[in-house]
Amino acid sequence: MSLTNEYIRQRITEKFGDAITNVEEPAGFLTFEVPKEMNLKVMQFLHDDNELKFRFLTDLCGVHYPNQEGRELAVVYHMHNLVDNVRLRMKVFTGINDPDVFTATSLFESANWQERETYDFYGINFVGHPNLKRILNVDEMDYFPMRKEYPLEDQSRIDKDDEMFGRGGSIS
Amino acid sequence: MSELIHQQPHHVKLPEGSIEKQTTTLNLGPTHPATHGVFQNILEVDGERIISSEQTVGYIHRAFEKIAERRPLYQITPLTDRLNYCSSPINNMGWHLTCEKLLGVNTPKRVDYLRVIIMELSRIADHLICNSIVGVDSGAFSGFLYVMQYRELIYEIFEEVCGSRLTTNIGRIGGFERNFTNAAFEKIEKFLKEYPVTLKEFENLFNRNRIFMERTMGTGGISAERALNYGFTGPNLRATGVDYDVRVAAPYSSYEDFKFDIPVGSTGDNYDRFMVRNQEMWQSLGIIEQAFRKVQEFRGTDADVYHADVPEYYLPEKQDVYTKMEALIWHFKIIMGEIDMPKGEVYHSVEGGNGELGFYLISDGGRAPFRLHFRRPCFIYYQAYSELTKGALLSDAVITMSSLNLIAGEMDA
Amino acid sequence: MARPVQYNVKNEGGKIVITDDMPPGYGGEGFFATTLDQVVGWGRKNSLWPMPFATSCCGIEFMATSASHYDIGRFGSERFAHTPRQCDLLLVMGTIAKKMGPILKQVYLQMSEPRWVIAVGACASSGGIFDTYSVLQGIDQIIPVDVYVPGCPPRPEAILDGLLKCQDLVGQESLRRRNSDKYKALLNSYGIE
């Protein structure tokens, strides 16, 4: 029997009940949200279950939604069942003032640097991470550049003329 | 200029008590010639044995994801070029396919086949560099000099199709910017005729070469289980024996119409990685040949199809822009990025030169992506480097690094 | 396809044509008199030892330049040393992020005088398309640059042209330049003693 989105949905709601929210299928890609305290439990279940077998962490990244009060930061996990070739997307939301999320490094080694990158960009504090420090930017940096309020360009730059180079512009 | 630049250049600080200890701390990189890019490894070595290593990355972090939040879709294509610059066209196509998925555009078959030709050509170019560099690092420089000559044939094809060699910015959302010329087809034909001969000779230089085999076999190996845990994809995962290939698992651009094999290794060591890449080049040649024949079958007006009909994103013909009001308006709107894209959330991945290259695009209905994340295979599997080199000889660690095909641009985004 | 092989010394009707310029001077049977400046410059420019500092895309084009097809060795510059102590030409190819900036400066400081710098590609020259918080807007913010090569990435021919331009500079440079106050002031403006 091939693994369908309905079946996965049924299994996780059976196991976790109302904790699984916002279940959607944009472009056939099963997406759901879990409370941030439960991210590891759900991942562990998806990983260990003999039918679900989501044992490959494809991707992990952060998103910043400045307008959602209390749940500004999101961590998005893309998981893959390589045997049945099914993917799913799991989201965890957290407030910007207490950005603590449990680390997935105990389950997947590949989460290590991806979590460091997410920390570097968004300042999400992965609780239990073995080596949570900046990875792409310099250690001296004192802000989290991918948050929406920070500009793209280097503000200390003086050589290029704003009028000619159109700094700070945004098309949206 | 930021304050940072004016500081005196900082030297690597030795940890406490490092003078008395039995092992040596060795700083490899970020400008070391053996690293082929800006990677820094701080190694703890006992003689020539590596006891532990720690990697530092980010030396060319260019903030792609932040830039992408300020650009209309078509202006993000040049950014994807500069991810894995050894196989830019695959990145371009991956990005176009992601946009098409978001916009719900279906491309004609001929466009798909032309894309397949371009993608497989760049896969060959990518593997070619990687394999010849493995040769250089194991002491065989001639292989590199020899095949670089034939990489130029591929670049000539790219030049004929899009006008650029390395960072191609090839194609548009919906197809190509212009049809392939006859000269392009002739060049592809020439490539298909000449390249197998060269590849065969390249193989003869390396595959059964005693020195090369001794240098690469049994070094830098990893088990399939660990590789999956580390998030390996692409040739490096296939070298461990897992037959995961995005082209087969989630076919895009009509890959399901082609017949090809997925070469796999067994031990995941440097030799297996070399051989998997080598075999993939042969498979790619087969795919190009099939695609070439399929394209030739289109006759008459079908042979003039080189893009889908997406007026909102595909630039109108230049002569129409000069003569027709509507075309001029579309041209202006596209160039100025004044088109709102549909709301949505897509993840699309293609089989890049190094593995699964994914694009995670969130659109809030604005003119630029709300969030664009690149799943960069290099970045993910470079984490395993400490495990791959633990207990290895220093000289083997260098080969391991080049056989992983680490591309700094892709790693640091 | 067979192509006729060309040498830079051609025998045209018994007359030997040497395409590489000799320094101007006064010559005759068994002697040649010229100024020391010119002969040293001539020697320097045809034996540059480049130090490739390749970080990204331009580095791949540089690989093509140094490989068989474009062959930078035709211009006396194929001796890449990869160690700044031995080199007199620093070729910076690719984006230099702020994290990389201090390292680039250190490499420059390790080179001994006289030293020249070529910024290859848009990123090294001006930051290119990456006007971002993490990218240095041109390496001339931290080290002096002699030749800029435009392009993103430049074609191998452009890199070769940049090298030839640099050779012109090297050939014409006065022996006193590196001791002049103007040069010291230039280095001081970069914080180099």
Q: Are C55 and C96 in contact (CB under 8 A)?
A: yes
Question: Out of A61, A109, A152, whose CB is closest to B229?
Answer: A109
B343 and chain A: CB distance < 8 Å anywhere? no
Question: Out of B70, B229, B345, whose CB is closest to A171?
Answer: B70
Question: What proportion of chain B, given as a percentage, has pLDDT over 90?
Answer: 59
Within 8 A of A64 by CB-CB distance, chain B residues are 371
Q: For the residues C4-11, what does the mean pLDDT come to?
A: 51
**ipTM of the prediction:** 0.91
Q: Which of A76, A89, A172 is the best residue to mutate to test the B interface, defined by the most B CB atoms within 10 Å of its own CB?
A: A172
Are B384 and A109 in contact (CB < 8 Å)? yes
Are C137 and A154 in contact (CB < 8 Å)? yes
Are C109 and B9 in contact (CB < 8 Å)? yes
Q: What's the domain range around B304?
A: 77-408
The shares of helix, strand and coil residues in chain C, as percent rounded to the nearest 5, are 40, 20, 45
The shares of helix, strand and coil residues in chain A, as percent rounded to the nearest 5, are 25, 25, 50
Q: For the residues C9-34, what does the mean pLDDT come to?
A: 70
Does residue B22 lie within any of the structural domains? no
Where does C48-171 sit in CATH, by number?
Answer: 3.40.50.12280
Alpha-carbon span A116 to A106, nearest angstrom = 14
Nearest to B129 by CA among B282, B281, B236: B281
Q: Within a 13 Å sphere around the CA of C6, how many CA atoms are in the beta-carbon half?
A: 6
Alpha-carbon span C3 to C6, nearest angstrom = 9
> pLDDT tens digits, residue range B291-322?
999 999 998 888 889 999 888 889 998 899 99
pLDDT of residue C4: 52
Within 8 A of B244 by CB-CB distance, chain A residues are 82
Are C132 and B4 in contact (CB < 8 Å)? no
pLDDT of residue B39: 86
Within 8 A of C95 by CB-CB distance, chain B residues are 60, 62
Rg (CA), chain C: 19
Q: How many CB pairs under 8 A join B and C?
A: 106
Q: Are C124 and C139 in contact (CB under 8 A)?
A: yes
Are B167 and C152 in contact (CB < 8 Å)? yes
pLDDT of residue A116: 93
Alpha-carbon span A91 to B404, nearest angstrom = 31
Query: For chain C, which chains pass the contact test of at least 3 CB pairs under 8 Å?
Result: A, B
Does residue B381 lie within any of the structural domains? yes
Does residue B373 lie within any of the structural domains? yes
The one-letter code for the residue type at A83 is V
pLDDT of residue A172: 46
pLDDT > 80? residue B191: yes
Q: Is C186 helix (H, G, I), strand (E, B) or coil?
A: helix
> pLDDT tens digits, residue range A78-126?
999 998 999 999 999 999 998 999 999 999 999 999 999 999 999 999 9
pLDDT of residue B11: 59
* Residue written as token pair 């021919």: C157
Strand pairing report for C9-12 and B371-375? unpaired
Q: In the structure encoding, which two tokens stand for residue B244, read together?
A: 């995961």
Chain A, nearest residue to C132 by Cα: A153
Question: Out of A137, A150, A157, whose CB is closest to C137?
Answer: A157
Query: In C15-125, where do the E strands start and end?
Result: 15-18, 26-28, 31-33, 50-54, 89-93, 116-120
Query: Distance (Å) from the C-alpha of residue B224 to the closest C-alpha of chain C?
Result: 31
Q: In the structure encoding, which two tokens stand for residue B32, read together?
A: 């070391």
CATH number at residue B396: 1.10.645.10
| Chain C contacts in chain B segment 22-51 (CB below 8 A) | 30-31, 33, 37-38
Are A29 and B347 in contact (CB < 8 Å)? yes
* Burial of B300 from C-beta contacts in 10 A (0-12 / 13-18 / 19+): exposed
C189 and chain A: CB distance < 8 Å anywhere? no
* Burial of A44 from C-beta contacts in 10 A (0-12 / 13-18 / 19+): middle
* Residue written as token pair 């995941």: B268
User: Is omega for the bond preceding A35 within 30 degrees of 0, making it cis?
Assistant: no
Identify the residue with better confidence: A167 or C172.
Answer: C172
The one-letter code for the residue type at B173 is I
> pLDDT tens digits, residue range C32-56?
888 888 889 888 888 889 999 888 8
* Burial of A46 from C-beta contacts in 10 A (0-12 / 13-18 / 19+): buried
Reported confidence tier of residue C175, pLDDT bands at 50, 70, 90: confident
Does residue B61 lie within any of the structural domains? no
* Residue written as token pair 């290794």: B265
Chain A, nearest residue to C98 by Cα: A138
C101-to-B238, B240, C135, C138, C140 alpha-carbon distances in Å: 37, 38, 9, 10, 11
What's the CATH class of domain A5-147?
A: alpha beta
Backbone phi, psi, residue B375, to 5° = -85, 110
Q: For the residues B147-160, what does the mean pLDDT come to?
A: 90
pLDDT of residue B322: 94
Alpha-carbon span B19 to A169, nearest angstrom = 53
Question: Out of C67, C102, C152, whose CB is closest to B145?
Answer: C67
Question: What proportion of chain C, given as a percentage, has pLDDT over 90?
Answer: 25
Within 8 A of C191 by CB-CB distance, chain B residues are 6
Strand pairing report for B40-46 and B24-28? antiparallel
Nearest to B127 by CA among B201, B260, B234: B234
Residues 6+ apart with CB under 8 A from A67: none
Question: Out of A57, A136, A157, whose CB is closest to B57?
Answer: A136
* Residue written as token pair 């004929």: B160
Q: Are B407 and B166 in contact (CB under 8 A)?
A: no
Q: Give the total number of structural domains in chain B.
A: 1
> pLDDT tens digits, residue range B362-382?
999 888 999 999 999 999 999
Question: What proportion of chain B, given as a percentage, has pLDDT over 70?
Answer: 96
Chain A, nearest residue to B356 by Cα: A58
Helix locations, B10-167, DSSP H:
64-68, 77-81, 88-103, 109-137, 141-162
Query: Distance (Å) from the C-alpha of residue A162 to the closest C-alpha of chain B?
Result: 15
What's the whole-number average pLDDT of chain B?
89
Are B228 and A63 in contact (CB < 8 Å)? no
Alpha-carbon span A105 to A110, nearest angstrom = 7
DSSP label at A18? G
Does residue B10 lie within any of the structural domains? no
Residues 6+ apart with CB under 8 A from C136: B5, C96, C97, C98, C100, C101, C127, C142
B151-to-A115, B87, B194, C63 alpha-carbon distances in Å: 37, 12, 11, 11
pLDDT > 90? residue C76: no
Are A160 and C134 in contact (CB < 8 Å)? no
Are C96 and B58 in contact (CB < 8 Å)? no
Question: Out of B63, B231, B249, whose CB is closest to A152?
Answer: B63
User: Is omega for the bond preceding B33 within 30 degrees of 0, making it cis?
Assistant: no
> pLDDT tens digits, residue range C142-173?
999 999 999 988 999 999 999 999 998 998 88
Q: Are A89 and A59 in contact (CB under 8 A)?
A: no
Are B368 and A171 in contact (CB < 8 Å)? yes
Q: For the residues B214-219, what does the mean pLDDT come to?
A: 90
Are B5 and C57 in contact (CB < 8 Å)? no
Sign of CA dihedral C123, C127, C130, C133: positive
* Residue written as token pair 């630049």: B5
DSSP B102-115: HHT----HHHHHHH
Reported confidence tier of residue B33, pLDDT bands at 50, 70, 90: confident
CA C75 to chain centre: 11
pLDDT > 70? residue C11: no
Residues 6+ apart with CB under 8 A from C137: A154, A157, A159, A160, C126, C127, C131
Question: Out of B2, B144, B167, whose CB is closest to C57?
Answer: B167
pLDDT > 50? residue B406: yes
pLDDT of residue C113: 85
Question: Out of C133, C138, C141, whose CB is closest to A152?
Answer: C133
Identify the residue with better confidence: C4 or A44.
Answer: A44
Identify the residue with better confidence: C74 or B286.
Answer: B286
Query: In B269-383, where do the E strands start and end?
Result: 344-351, 356-363, 371-375
> How many residues does the structure list for chain B?
413
Are C137 and A159 in contact (CB < 8 Å)? yes
Alpha-carbon span B282 to A80, nearest angstrom = 29
> How many residues does the structure list for chain C?
193
Chain C, nearest residue to B58 by Cα: C99
Reported confidence tier of residue C13, pLDDT bands at 50, 70, 90: low
Q: For the residues B232-260, what does the mean pLDDT come to?
A: 92
Backbone phi, psi, residue B46, to 5° = -115, 100
Within 8 A of B362 by CB-CB distance, chain A residues are 63
Alpha-carbon span A144 to A139, nearest angstrom = 11
pLDDT of residue B148: 86
Nearest to A125 by CA among A101, A149, A96: A101
Within 8 A of C64 by CB-CB distance, chain B residues are 148, 151-152, 155
Print burial letters for C83-107: b (CB count within 10 Å at least 16), e (below 16): ebeebbbbbbbbbbbbbbbbbbbeb
